[in-house]
Chain A
Amino acid sequence: MNNLRPNILSIKKLTFLGFLLAITPLYAQQVKKAEKAAILLRNATLHTVSRGTVSGDLLIRDGLIADIGTNLAIHSGTAVLDCSGKHVYPGFIDGGSKVGLAEIGSISVTNDFSELGDFIPHMKALTAVNPNSVSIPVTRVNGVTTVFAKPEGSTFPGTGALIDLFGYTPDQMSCGSERVVMQFPSTGRRGRWDRRSDEDIKKETEKALKNIDQVYESAIQYARIDSAAKADRQSWTTNNPQMEALLPVIRGQQPLFVEANSYTDITALLDWISNKKIKVVLTGASEGWRVADRIARAGIPVITGPVLSVPRRENDRYDAMYTNAGKMAGAGVKVAIRTDESENTRNLPFNAGFAAAYGMGTDEALRAITLTPAEIFGVQERYGSLDKGKVANLFVATGDPFEMKTRIEKLFIRGWDIPLESRHTLLYDEFLERTPGNQKK
C-alpha cells in the first residue's frame, strides 16, 4: 500500500529539499544535477497555447507530456505537485540567438559563431555548441528552454541548430532541426562610421546580388548532377560540402533562413525568391512593418527581434521596433520573436512582453515564442504547446511570465527537473549576506 501512496509535495517542500541539496558540497559543478521527473502537476492553470487556457492536471513521464486532463490517476512512483493558483507554460523558444556559441563578448577565441569565408553554409553551429556554457543555466531559469543557435557574419555563414538548453553533448541538446542561414545583400549602412558613398553601396549590393545568383545557379546544377548520379546509382566522388549543405534547401526539403532588415532589402529578397522554388523564412525584418502586406501575400514566415532595440532610422517613431511584430502579425504574417542575443537571451519573455504591450497582444506574443517558432522550425509535433505526447519542456510560474515580478518555480526540459540555479543565483546566495562582512578577519 505504502508505495502506492502518492508522494504529494508542495512547492515549498520541494524548495526545502532543493535547499538541503544546495548545502551539500557540490564541487566542480556549475549547478545542481537535474533529475528525471515523473511528476503530476495537479490543479494548474495550463496555458496550452494550442487550445487556450484550461484548468487541470499535467503528467510528465519519460521525458514527455504523458497526459493532460482533469483528475488524472496517480501511478506509483509519480510525485504530485499541487499547482493550485500556479500557471504552467510551454518552454519558450528563441528563434535566433548565440547561446552556446558565444561565451565572452570581447574575447574572440571564446566566440564560435563567425567562421572565415563568405560562402560556408556547411559550417555547423551544432558542432560548436558548448553544453557547459555559463549562459545556458542563466537563460533557461527565465523559462527559455530552446533556442536557435545561429552562425552569422557573412553571406552564407553556416547552418544553425535548434537546441534544448539542457544536455551534456550537442547531440543530447539537438532538437533535430538544423537550418541554413543566409544574409541577404544589404543596402543599409553598417553603422554611423560607415562612410561609403551611396554609389559604392549600390555597386557592392549589385555585385553581392550577382554572387548569390551564381551560388543559386550552381546549387541547382549541383542538385541536378547529384540527383542524376543517384538515379543511375553512380558513385560520384566530389568534395563540395558547401553545395552539399544547400541540397535540402534547393530540393525544398527545408526553408532557407534569410536575414534582411531594411524594407528595401526585404523587398529585394521577395523579388529574388519570386521566381525560385525554394522555401524561405525571413529573419530580422526590423522594417517589416513597412512592407507587411507584401510579406503576408508572399506567405513567408518571419522571425523578428530584438523588440528591445532602437529604430534603425532617425526619422522613425521611437516605438518603431516595439510595434513591428504586432504590425506584421496584424497584416497576417506568421511572426516569431527572437532576441538575437547571446548571454542575455533570458530577456526573450520581456521582448515578447513589449511586443504584446505595443499592439501584438499577450496571446499572440506568447505564441510568437512557443508554437509559432516550433512550426517555423518544423518541430510543431513535438514542441511549442502543452499537448499530450509533446516533449516535456515547460515551467510552473506564479503568474504571467512576461512580468518581471513573476517567479518561475519549477522548470522541466525533456522531462528533466532542472534546478533553478545559475551563476547569477549562486553569486546572490553567496554574497547577499557575505561572511565575513567588512571585518578584517
Chain B
Amino acid sequence: MIRNSKAKNLLLLICLPALAAAQDLLIKNASVLTVTKGNCQNCDILVTGGKIAEVGKGLRQPANVRVIDATGLYVMPGIIDAHSHIGIDVVNEGTNPVTAEVNVGDALNPLDVSIYRALAGGVTTSHAMHGSANAIGGQCQTIKHRYGTTNPDDLKMAGAPRTIKFALGENPIRTHGESNKIWPATRMGVEQVFRNAFSEARIYMKEWEDHKKGIRKSPPAYSLRMETLADILNGKILIHCHSYRADEILMLMNVLRDFGINKVCFQHVNEGFKVAPELAAFGATASVFADWWAYKFEVYYSTAYNAAILTRNGVVTSINSDSGELIRHLYHEAAKTQRYGDLTDEEALALITINPAIQLGIDKMVGSVEKGKDADLAIFKGHPLSVYAIPQMTIVDGIVRFDIKSDPDDVRVDVNPTEKYSTYFESLEDLDHNACMRGVSELLMQESHAQYLRYRYSKQHQH
C-alpha cells in the first residue's frame, strides 16, 4: 500500500549518491553476449576505473573489487536508445521551421524517473532528442543514465558528437504550413526549407571567410543559427532526421548530396525498407520502431519487417523507443525482429547496442562488451531476447545504477514533503506514445481545446 515515504526518501537521497560511488567490479561466471566478438560462456568481466579492463575465463580476482556472481545470468552491453525524449523538460521549440540554435542539452532534467525505469530495462545511454515540429529542429544531447545525480550536466556523455534533429512530412507541415500558413505546407516546401537554410549558411560562411581574408571589412552579424548550420555543413554535427515516406527520404539524401553532407541517420523511417538499396548506397543509417504503424497516414503502408529488410540490404539499423514506455523493454522490441524477419540473436542485439552507438558516433566508447570500452553493462536473468527475460542489474561507467535485489519502491529524487503520495495519471501519453510532438498542440491551439483533443486521442499516437 501507499505509505508516507518521507523517511524512505530521505534515506534515498543519502543512498543514491552513495550508490554512485565508483568501485571496481569483477562479474563472474556469466554468459557474455559481447555483440561484436561473439558469445563467451562462463566468462568473467573485470571493471576498473569505470572501464572494461578484461573479458575472459577465470580472471584473477584483484584485491578490493566487488564480486558479482553472474552464474546462470547473461551479460550484454548496456542498451542504447538512439531516439528518446526522457530526461528533458521540453521537446519542441515549434515556433519556426528552422531552430538549429536551440539545444536540448540546455533543458536536461536529471530528476525524471523515466531515467531509472530505462535503467531497469538495461538501457544505459539514450539520445535525448528535440521534437519533430520543425524541418530543422534543435540540437540533441546524448546522455548517460546516471540516475541519482541532481546536476543536469552530469547526464551528458563526454566525447559524444553533437547531433541535431531534422524532420520531414506531416509534423512540420502541420505545425507550420497548416497552422501558421508558412512553408512547409507540402513535402515540396520541406525540401526548400532545407535548401534555403543551407544556402543562407553558405553565404554566412563565405562572408566570414571574406572578412577574415580582409576582402570584407565588417564582419557579418553573428548568428547562432547560422553558426550551427555551418557546423552541419562542415560535418561537425550529425543529422538525425525524423522521416517516414520513401520519397521524402530520397529527397533529403539528394539535398545532403548537393551540399556535400555524407552522414545522416534517418529516424522512424517507416518506409525505409522501400528505399533500402538507396540508403545503403548513400551510407545512411536507420533507426526504426519494431512494430509501430498506422498511427498516422504516412505510416499506414508500413511493415514490422522494416528492420530486417534494412539489415539484409546492408543498412546499419537500430531499434529505438521514442517513448518512456518502450525504452523500458528495448530488448523485447529487438527480439520482435526474430518474429518479423528471422534476424539472428547477434543481429537482433546489435540493433540496440553497437548499431545505435555507430549512429550516435559513440561506438568507440560503448555498444559492445570489449576491453577498453566504458563499463556499461546489463545483466539479465534469461536470454535478453526471450519474453521471460528479467533485467537484474544495470551498470553505467562501472557504477551499479539498477539492482533488482536492492530496488526501492519509490526512486524519486525530488519529493514534495507535503505530498502523501504522487499523483495518479489516467494517461501518460507523452510517455507512452506522444513524445515527438510534445509541446506542439499547446502552441497550435487554445489550451482548453488542446486538452480536449489530447484526452480524446490519448490512446493514439502522434509521432
Interface residues of A (CB under 8 A from B): 98, 103-107, 111, 114, 134-135, 142, 152-153, 186-194, 261-262, 264, 287, 290, 308-319, 340, 342-344, 346-347, 350, 353-354, 356-358, 402-407, 423-425, 427-428, 431-434, 437-438
Contact = CB atoms under 8 A, between A and B. Distances in A.
Given A191-B455, A264-B424, A405-B339, 20 more contacts: A105-B462, A190-B427, A191-B427, A191-B458, A192-B428, A261-B424, A310-B328, A310-B428, A312-B425, A313-B421, A314-B412, A314-B422, A319-B120, A344-B292, A357-B389, A357-B390, A404-B385, A404-B387, A423-B303, A431-B309
A104 B296 contact: yes
A311 B117 CA distance: 10
Contacts of A432: 305, 308-309, 312
A317 B329 contact: no
Contacts of A106: 170, 295-297, 457, 460-462
A346 B292 CA distance: 11
B11 interface: no
A152 to B, nearest CB: 8
Interface-central residue, A153, A186, A406, A424, by most chain B CB under 10 Å: A424
A191 B294 contact: no
A261 B426 CA distance: 7
29 contacts: A104-B294, A105-B295, A105-B460, A106-B297, A106-B461, A106-B462, A111-B460, A187-B424, A188-B426, A189-B423, A191-B428, A191-B429, A191-B430, A192-B428, A290-B1, A309-B325, A310-B432, A312-B426, A313-B421, A313-B423, A313-B425, A315-B421, A342-B459, A357-B387, A403-B386, A403-B388, A423-B303, A425-B303, A437-B277
B335 interface: yes
A420 to B, nearest CB: 12
Q: Can you list the 7 inter-chain pairs with the closest CB atoms, starting with the nearest? A: A353-B387, A438-B277, A428-B305, A105-B295, A343-B294, A427-B303, A105-B460
Contacts of A433: 312
B120 to A, nearest CB: 4
Contacts of B431: 310
A343 B274 contact: no
Interface string B39-58: 00000000000000000000
| Chain B, interface SS category | loop
Nearest to A403: B387
Contact of B300 (A134, A193, A318, A428): A134
Contacts of A354: 329, 332, 387
A424 B325 contact: no
A438 B278 contact: yes
A438 B283 CA distance: 13
B59 interface: no
A357 B113 CA distance: 23
B225 interface: no
A190 B387 contact: no
A364 B458 CA distance: 30
A45 B340 CA distance: 24
Contact of B387 (A114, A317, A350, A425): A350
B239 to A, nearest CB: 21
Nearest to A291: B1
Interface string B288-310: 00011111110011111100110
B424 A317 contact: no
A104 B300 CA distance: 7
Contacts of A111: 460
Contacts of B303: 423-425, 427-428, 431
A191 B273 contact: no
Given A318-B120, A438-B278, A424 B296 contact: no
Given A310-B117, A346-B291, A191 B425 contact: yes
Nearest to A133: B294
Interface string B412-447: 100000000111111111111000000000100001
B281 A438 contact: yes
Contacts of B297: 104, 106-107
Interface in B372-415: 382, 385-390, 407, 409-412
A431 B310 CA distance: 10
B5 interface: yes
B268 interface: no
Contacts of B262: none
Nearest to B305: A428
Interface-central residue, B5, B304, B324, by most chain A CB under 10 Å: B304
A404 B332 contact: yes
B294 A317 contact: no
A313 B3 CA distance: 13
B329 A308 contact: yes
A358 B120 CA distance: 14
A137 to B, nearest CB: 12
A354 B407 CA distance: 19
A344 B291 contact: yes
A414 B443 CA distance: 50
B256 interface: no
A438 to B, nearest CB: 4
Nearest to A153: B456
Contacts of B2: 290, 315
B426 A404 contact: no
A67 B277 CA distance: 51
A318 B116 contact: yes
B70 interface: no
A405 B458 CA distance: 32
B56 to A, nearest CB: 29
Contact of B277 (A187, A188, A350, A434): A434
Contacts of A186: 426
A176 B128 CA distance: 48
A313 to B, nearest CB: 5
Contacts of A344: 291-293
B237 interface: no
A433 B276 CA distance: 9
B11 to A, nearest CB: 14
Contacts of A114: 456
A347 B426 contact: no
A192 B329 CA distance: 23
Nearest to B119: A318
A424 B340 contact: yes
A106 B296 CA distance: 5
Contacts of B85: none
B451 interface: yes
